Amino acid sequence: MSDAFIPFHRPSIGSREQEAVRKVLESGWLTTGEQTRRFEKRFARFVGVRHAVALNSATAALHLAMDALGVDEGDEVVLPTYTFAASAEVALYFRARPVLVDIDESTMNVAPDAVERAITARTKVIEVVHFGGLPADLPAIERVRKKRSGRGSEGPPYLIEDAAHAFPSRIDSMDGRYAGTIGAANAFSFYATKTLTTGEGGMLVTDDDRIADRARLMRLHGISHDAWRRYARGGSWYYEIEEAGFKDNPTDIASALGLAQLSRANRLRAARARIARRYVDELNDLADGGRLRLPKAGNADEHAWHLFVIRLVVDRSRDIDRALPGVVGLPGALQPLATARARVIEALSAAGIGTSVHFIPLHLHPLYRRLGYAAGDFPAAERAYAGAISLPIWPGMTDRQISRVVRAVRSAIGA
């Protein structure tokens, strides 16, 4: 690939993936079928759970998790404001209330003490987002969850893990279990930018038979038999509609791609970790000098490195001479930082480096302002957002490309 432009992301697709998809196309069966069954079984075995239910997105996995746990109108779902739209919007599908909380600025994951303060008698779910691939502090959150009764006599709130960023990362403090396997029901993403991709796709995982059965029923219109069982040799045309379900099933094309990617998952994670180490080694002097904040690394295989987010540190007293994207909606004290961030992104783009920003905190968006949130509500999330820039990190990056990114960052911040 030419060094003229280094994209923010490029999927790692090789001959194994291409051959797997070709076989499905030639098989004559494209929708949910045998490849999906195999993908579910192998994924469940890989992460060490009883059930994996393949879906067309992680959003669907979060939705079906809340459905299976009985989230309903008036319930509350506690989650960090520093996340993508899907994490909170699924609560709104049930007319439940997303209760947004602040983050731990050092990890960019949800702050356990903020979760504890947010739990009320109406809390049905605590939804933990593992930001960037680094597992959140689940031991602390589990202690909070178990000692706070959010649902009266029913017991503590349920835990759902939004592990969209976190495959495959382990939690050393929980006997090396994979992030995304601790909660009652949990969601993984196979979106195009993820370590394991099916283009679009997701997986709900659980050890609870009831949750798995409910998710399998609801992912395809609430009918008693899917198409593969009806149309396969010896299948029956008869089915019954048991619930008003959804259209969340994956294709066998996607599942075949997922199977091929799964066989390479640890190598793909290791490739991302190699890039992260290079970035840390070559930018650490800027962190030591107070110019940048680098992402916190886990131990060994504890970090999936879905994202590598640097955060600018600037003199916030500087005047702003022009408005740039990222300034609107933030408190005035953070506007110089957001302006500096926008200028660095412009400089990186001019140098041929693709970047992104993860994420605009939910409470700054119009939807959540209408729900009563406002700028200033979550200072740690706002500070993190104002200076955040996500650098390219994908398995096929060459040493030359990594060096180009580093040089461009140093030049853009004047170092």
First and final C-alpha spacing in the chain: 28
139 preceded by a cis bond (ω within 30 of 0): no
**Annotated catalytic residue within 23, 41, 147, 194:** 194
**Under the phi-then-psi rule, with left for phi > 0, alpha for psi from -120 to 50, and beta for the rest, what region is 199?**
left
pLDDT the model gives residue 149? 63
Q: To the nearest 5 percent, what fractions of the chain are helix, strand and coil? A: 40, 15, 40
- Per residue in 105-125, pLDDT tens? 999 999 999 999 999 999 999
pTM: 0.94
The count of residues in the chain is 415
- Per residue in 209-241, pLDDT tens? 999 999 999 999 999 866 556 566 667 778 889
For 396, other C-beta atoms within 10 Å of its C-beta total 13
pLDDT the model gives residue 154? 72
pLDDT the model gives residue 368? 98
With H, G, I as helix, E, B as strand and everything else as coil, classify residue 368.
Answer: helix
Q: How far apart are CA 102 and CA 110, in angstroms?
A: 6
In angstroms, the Cα distances linking 58 to 9, 161, 197, 282, 297 are 19, 11, 12, 34, 25
- Per residue in 163-196, pLDDT tens? 999 999 999 999 999 999 999 999 999 999 999 9
Of 148 and 93, the one with more pLDDT: 93
Amino acid (1-letter code) at residue 209: D
Q: Exposed, middle or buried by CB within 10 Å (0-12, 13-18, 19+), for 173?
A: middle
Phi–psi pair at 191, nearest 5 degrees: -60, 165
296: annotated active-site residue: no
For 232, other C-beta atoms within 10 Å of its C-beta total 13
Asked if 280 and 79 touch (Cβ cutoff 8 Å), the reply is: no
Q: How far apart are CA 128 and CA 55, in angstroms?
A: 20
Q: How far apart are CA 105 and CA 382, in angstroms?
A: 10
